Structure 1
Amino acid sequence: MSQSTVWQKSSFSGGGDSSDCVEVAAAQGVLRLRESDEPDTVIVATGAGLAALIRHLRP
């Protein structure tokens, strides 16, 4: 993963400077997700794959 990856904090993670949040980055046709307190653990998915996962998890 490139050092130039720009991570953005999810708006659903609450406000402030809390370190407990989900971050997302988009590059090279994939989405990357990570938990801020575990930055070396990254989930990589396509947009369609992530959308399918969210649809499956929603009640």
Structure 2
Amino acid sequence: MTTAIQTLSGTRTNERLSAIVLAAFLGLGLVFCAGFAPAAALHNAAHDFRHTQNFPCH
């Protein structure tokens, strides 16, 4: 019985670690892309996103 509990606990730890690594990778990727993108490209992307959400912007 304790072996099963230890196995489940280990699996949860691995899943948490995987989630943290994936979130960090995606977050750093977004920061890297936004940091090196031209300002006009960022503005156009934000503008288009506002339109897709039916949010009036002009």
Would the TM-score normalized by the shorter structure come out above 0.5? Answer: no
Q: Which has the higher contact order (CA 8 A, sep 6+)?
A: 1
Q: TM-score, normalised by structure 1?
A: 0.31
More strand by share: 1
Highest Rg: 1 or 2?
2
